[in-house]
Structure 1
Amino acid sequence: MPPKTRLLQPLLALALAMALPAGRVHATEPGFVDPATLDQVSLPTPVTTQHHGVFNGQRIDYAATVETYATTGADGHPAARLVSTAYIATSADNARPLIFAFNGGPIAASTPLHFGLLGPQRLAVPDDLHADATGFKLVDNRHAPLDVADIVIFDPASTGYSRVADGVAPASQFSTRADARQLAQLVTAWLDRHGRRGAPVYLLGESYGTLRAPEAATQLKAAGTAVDGIILLGQADNILEYAQRRDNIISYAVSLPTLAALGWYHGKVDRRGHSFAQFVDAASAYGRERYLSTLFLGNRASAQQREEVAQALQSFTGLSADAWLKADLKLSKVAYARQLFPGQILASSDGRYLLDAQGNSSSVPDYNAVAERYYRQVLKVPAQAGHYSTAMPTSSDFNAWDWDANTSPFGDYPWVGQLRELLVSNPRMRLLVGNGYYDSQTTIGAMDYLAAQSGFPMDQVRTRYYNGGHMMYTVERSAADLADDIRQMVRRTW
């Protein structure tokens, strides 16, 4: 196994977990399926239905179209048959923006974004964290940004209705470039089929999708299609700042704001004299200053300094100074999640939620059933077309995911550099990055570190914190705020 692949093995588990929904819409163990066992899907002609809805106070008449696109591999041979779902305003012209949206995985269906934020119906997750998930219903999604843009949902091969081409091994698509190639070819083919060449194109990716987005945008640019904007939710482009190797002291410093947010939420810290935002900001400042400098000193830090820092970490996180000292001031996010409430675990995707000691939860909505009913009953996809799969495809080859990066120990990952190049080369391009306060998989501090260290032209960039976890839009107020931020972006108000 190449050195770089070995280096990424611990990150693969993180990337897999990042596909899972947050809070009530999360699973402690992902639903996996061997892609070779998936049934074939047959949608030889587009299925189009007419609808209307009220979005951001505006009535929009729109068509929903479910259709198939063929893609090829780098060798030009058939690779996949992708099935997209598009919501297109009846009045749409070539000036109307298009948002191509996708979740993560690697290789996961885009049901969370589809039924949580962007589609005309959303799975209503109540603010009651103890509500029974079986009672969650699809409701009209008044927050969907369909008032300002058409939406195209991308499901990679072996998810949703998308499948690899006949005779193609599913694992042939298990690489960052092959995966992004699917998306780039879908965007190009979709624009051509619908006569929308020249329309503003935005890519919206979540979790692993935030790695897919810059790679696909780079491929699109090389093919002559400029992307007008990228939206990254639960971003992981600087993934090393999320994976807490013991000697990566930056990762501990940038995780402190999230631990502080969780300590505040669970009532483990003294809230007097602070607002929530002030408290988290103070933790962020302490993390990048006194905490980081002490970690840098390591065993050269005096006992007094270490005790002082441990006491401060206790005040920010609610875990005792002794616990911090025993961990050499390096308590990981995973350790924190297990120690804050002995016998229970904070959900990594949304730390507001408590799991049992084995990390299990019974409150997991059946996304597959939700999607199947919706496609059959609302979008009129015939049953004989095949089944919609929300499971993550795996096989004996899955851990050999090809990250396509320099395999030398001196190599680096390309995603931040790709974003920088895209922004610098296209002053019209905009980048919106959003993370949830309670997401310990992709943290707000690492997002801030990305913005500070990336070399991005910051007049083209906005970063946002949202109440919630990895899928912050399961909180309705956050769904509304995020949708408004998307509207401002596509309206070019910044």
Structure 2
Amino acid sequence: MMKTTFLMFCTLLAAGAYGASRAEEAPRAESDTARQTCEKYETGDNKPKWERQPSNQSRVTRHRFSAGGKSFDYTATAGTLVIRDDYDRPIANIGYVAYSRDEHGKVGSRPILFAFNGGPGYSSIFLHMGLLGPKRVIVTDAGPPSPAPYNTTDNEFSVLDKTDVVLIDPVGTGLSHAVCRKKDADFWSVDADVDSISRLIAQFVSDHERWSSPKYLLGESYGTTRAAAIVDYLRAQRSLTFNGVIFLSAALDMEVIFTALPGNERPYATYLPSFAAAAWYYHLVPGAQGPLEPFLEEVRRYAEGPFATALLKGNALSAAERDAVAEQVHQYTGLSTEYIKAANFRISEASFAQELLKSRGRVIARLDARFSGSTQDAREKDAAYDPSLAYLSPPFMSAFQDYYHHDLGFGAEQTYQLSNSVAGNDWNLAHKPLGAGQQQTLVNSTVDLAQTMVQDPNLKVLVLQGYFDLGSPFATTEYMMSHLQIPQEAVSRIQMKYYDSGHMIYVHLPSLRRLQQDLDQFLDSTH
């Protein structure tokens, strides 16, 4: 998830997955007494400062999973892990929750999946309590939530029967913070973030003897930007490879997503099919009352052809051509031809979210156009907030906190941050892929992904996209995947799956069912 327009890119019954109570608990890990302090360093006032040596902390609980016809024992570990630089100096304490199925003698060969949300500046709560963990938050799909109390249910769609799972909170989110000489802000850049999460993954793999395990990486939204860079970083720096990488609501090339860059024409054509999907959902497409996918295929062809040509022609477009393009875009989106021409065909997702239902006094969500909410000022050009985040964040946060403190027994008397807007606003989006001659001013981690797919012939990619996602539009993802500089053999290792949902595919129950089937098939076919 990324700035406001790209957040998330950016997600308890007695007989449930955890059972009525924890069956067994291990004590919290003791601090390392061998080293009591960090290295002495100078503060801003030139006075020496000493800080206690950070130590790994964890709480281990054991449970019984019984949902969706599956039944097995598993262990949950909630904790923080100290990561160190190349000189073995502590630099950050990163929070995680790990789940491992109890199978005697099979730990080293059992698959393990590392996952994170995006923002940047978001913890892993949404993936944790919406898709991957043994508990799932009950939410009202495409509508405002019921008032508290917020409830959870056994997650029959969890992948814990197929793979162990580690949910990661980047520095500045959850309980994760810099230590010793470092500040949280030191990690708020593409490359520093990739380095820190890579160090955590490598450390976790070593600590838990998982080097021989099939390994997977799953990122959502900006987490896909991170994941594409991490698979290349760990391959090159640690010889740690993955069987598969999973992109949920992909956002690898920021220039194809950001509409605020002067002279950048690419986003507008790739956004049009998602705008059309939203208009179709609200019955605003004249004459298009049939199935969604054939309609979108028609819009795709127009966006890639006549519409892209019109954008490229710019001011050379004749008056007759302008009228024709405006009329066709109107037919696909329901926006007025006057608005379309006034915008010079270059409509951002925030403007579209504000405009589509303006006559009804409503604004649609950029992350999931099926959600809509009231608007305070219909005269605004861009949507002032995202109804999907406004509706989903409270139940996810509240249910997670209760689960984290009670069921997992961790995090009490500490402040857990779902999101960090300061990190999102201050994030440095420059990136230098490994081996690249120049630094990118705006990250495009398709370069990293392509390099890995060429050098690692075993890596497979699964791309998961919602049709109603305006933050990571499905046609934008198609563009990214089709412009990887890789041989045809590598192209054949990429799968794309589509859902009648938005950015957080898993909040739509029919899509969640299909999503679990697609994940299961991918995991089964890649090791």
Calculate the TM-score normalised by the size of structure 2.
Answer: 0.81
The whole-number CA distance in structure 2 between the counterparts of 1:133 and 1:99 is 34
SS in 1 for 2:240: coil
- 2:111 maps to which of 97, 121, 125: 97
The whole-number CA distance in structure 2 between the counterparts of 1:182 and 1:128 is 35
The whole-number CA distance in structure 2 between the counterparts of 1:409 and 1:431 is 25
Q: 2:223 matched to 1:223?
A: no
Q: Which has the higher helix share?
A: 1
CA contact (8 A) 1:435 1:470 kept: yes
Q: Which residue of 1 aligns with 2:121?
A: 107
Q: What are the superposed Cα offsets for residues 127-150 of structure 1, whole Å, 9 maximum, x if unpaired? A: 362442535411110001111111
Q: Which residue of 2 aligns with 1:122?
A: 136
Specify whether residues 117 and 335 from structure 1 end up closer, same or farther in structure 2 by C-alpha distance, changes over 3 A only.
same
Specify whether residues 14 and 230 from structure 1 end up closer, same or farther in structure 2 by C-alpha distance, changes over 3 A only.
farther
The whole-number CA distance in structure 2 between the counterparts of 1:283 and 1:200 is 40
Q: Which residue of 2 aligns with 1:479?
A: 512
CA contact (8 A) 1:60 1:146 kept: no
Residues 346-365 of structure 1 mapped to structure 2, 5 A cutoff = 346-358=364-376, 359=384, 363=391, 364-365=393-394
CA contact (8 A) 1:63 1:87 kept: yes
Q: 2:315 matched to 1:299?
A: yes
Q: Which residue of 1 aligns with 2:200?
A: 186
CA contact (8 A) 2:78 2:96 kept: yes
Q: Where does the alignment leave 5 or more consecutive residues of structure 1 unmatched?
A: 1-10, 22-39
Q: 2:504 matched to 1:489?
A: no
Counterpart of 1:52, as a letter, is R
Specify whether residues 307 and 217 from structure 1 end up closer, same or farther in structure 2 by C-alpha distance, changes over 3 A only.
same
Specify whether residues 134 and 247 from structure 1 end up closer, same or farther in structure 2 by C-alpha distance, changes over 3 A only.
farther
Q: Which residue of 2 aligns with 1:377?
A: 406
Q: 2:363 matched to 1:345?
A: yes
The whole-number CA distance in structure 1 between the counterparts of 2:419 and 2:302 is 41
Residues 191-340 of structure 1 mapped to structure 2, 5 A cutoff = 191-221=205-235, 222-244=237-259, 245=261, 247-272=263-288, 274-340=290-356
SS in 1 for 2:482: helix
- Higher Rg: 2
Q: What are the superposed Cα offsets for residues 323-382 of structure 1, whole Å, 9 maximum, x if unpaired? A: 212222222222221111223321111111223324355635254332221012111226
Specify whether residues 133 and 449 from structure 1 end up closer, same or farther in structure 2 by C-alpha distance, changes over 3 A only.
farther
- 2:463 maps to which of 423, 426, 433: 433
Q: 2:132 matched to 1:132?
A: no
Counterpart of 2:342, as a letter, is K
Counterpart of 1:141, as a letter, is N
CA contact (8 A) 1:220 1:227 kept: no
Deviation at 1:483, TM superposition (A): 2.0
The whole-number CA distance in structure 1 between the counterparts of 2:168 and 2:439 is 34
Q: Which residue of 1 aligns with 2:428?
A: 401
Q: 2:50 matched to 1:60?
A: no
Count of residues in Structure 1 that have an aligned counterpart in Structure 2: 464
Specify whether residues 391 and 18 from structure 1 end up closer, same or farther in structure 2 by C-alpha distance, changes over 3 A only.
closer
Greater relative CO, 1 or 2 (CA 8 Å, sep 6+)? 1
Calculate the TM-score normalised by the size of structure 1.
Answer: 0.87
CA contact (8 A) 2:2 2:10 kept: no
Deviation at 1:202, TM superposition (A): 0.6
The whole-number CA distance in structure 1 between the counterparts of 2:425 and 2:272 is 32
Once structures 1 and 2 are overlaid, which stretch shifts more, 200-209 or 74-83?
Answer: 74-83
SS in 1 for 2:121: coil
The whole-number CA distance in structure 2 between the counterparts of 1:15 and 1:337 is 11
Counterpart of 1:201, as a letter, is K
Q: What are the superposed Cα offsets for residues 51-80 of structure 1, whole Å, 9 maximum, x if unpaired? A: 122355321211101233211246653211
Q: Where does the alignment leave 5 or more consecutive residues of structure 2 unmatched?
A: 12-51, 377-383
Specify whether residues 82 and 308 from structure 1 end up closer, same or farther in structure 2 by C-alpha distance, changes over 3 A only.
same
Q: Which residue of 1 aligns with 2:448?
A: 418
The whole-number CA distance in structure 2 between the counterparts of 1:128 and 1:402 is 31
Deviation at 1:464, TM superposition (A): 1.7
- In the TM superposition, structure 1's runs of 4+ consecutive aligned residues that sit over 4 Å from their partners are 40-45, 406-412
CA contact (8 A) 1:71 1:186 kept: yes
Specify whether residues 285 and 75 from structure 1 end up closer, same or farther in structure 2 by C-alpha distance, changes over 3 A only.
farther
Specify whether residues 233 and 133 from structure 1 end up closer, same or farther in structure 2 by C-alpha distance, changes over 3 A only.
farther
Once structures 1 and 2 are overlaid, which stretch shifts more, 258-267 or 474-483?
Answer: 474-483
Once structures 1 and 2 are overlaid, which stretch shifts more, 190-199 or 52-61?
Answer: 52-61
Q: Which residue of 2 aligns with 1:391?
A: 419
Report sequence identity in percent. Answer: 27
Specify whether residues 432 and 353 from structure 1 end up closer, same or farther in structure 2 by C-alpha distance, changes over 3 A only.
same
The whole-number CA distance in structure 2 between the counterparts of 1:85 and 1:97 is 16
Counterpart of 1:418, as a letter, is D
The whole-number CA distance in structure 1 between the counterparts of 2:185 and 2:441 is 24
Specify whether residues 271 and 47 from structure 1 end up closer, same or farther in structure 2 by C-alpha distance, changes over 3 A only.
farther
Specify whether residues 19 and 259 from structure 1 end up closer, same or farther in structure 2 by C-alpha distance, changes over 3 A only.
closer
Q: CA RMSD in A?
A: 2.7
The whole-number CA distance in structure 2 between the counterparts of 1:266 and 1:365 is 26
Q: Which residue of 2 aligns with 1:3?
A: none
The whole-number CA distance in structure 2 between the counterparts of 1:242 and 1:179 is 20
- 1:141 maps to which of 147, 155, 169: 155
Specify whether residues 12 and 49 from structure 1 end up closer, same or farther in structure 2 by C-alpha distance, changes over 3 A only.
closer
Deviation at 1:121, TM superposition (A): 0.4
CA contact (8 A) 1:205 1:213 kept: yes
Q: Which residue of 2 aligns with 1:48?
A: 60
Counterpart of 1:388, as a letter, is Y
Q: Which residue of 2 aligns with 1:460?
A: 493
CA contact (8 A) 1:291 1:309 kept: yes
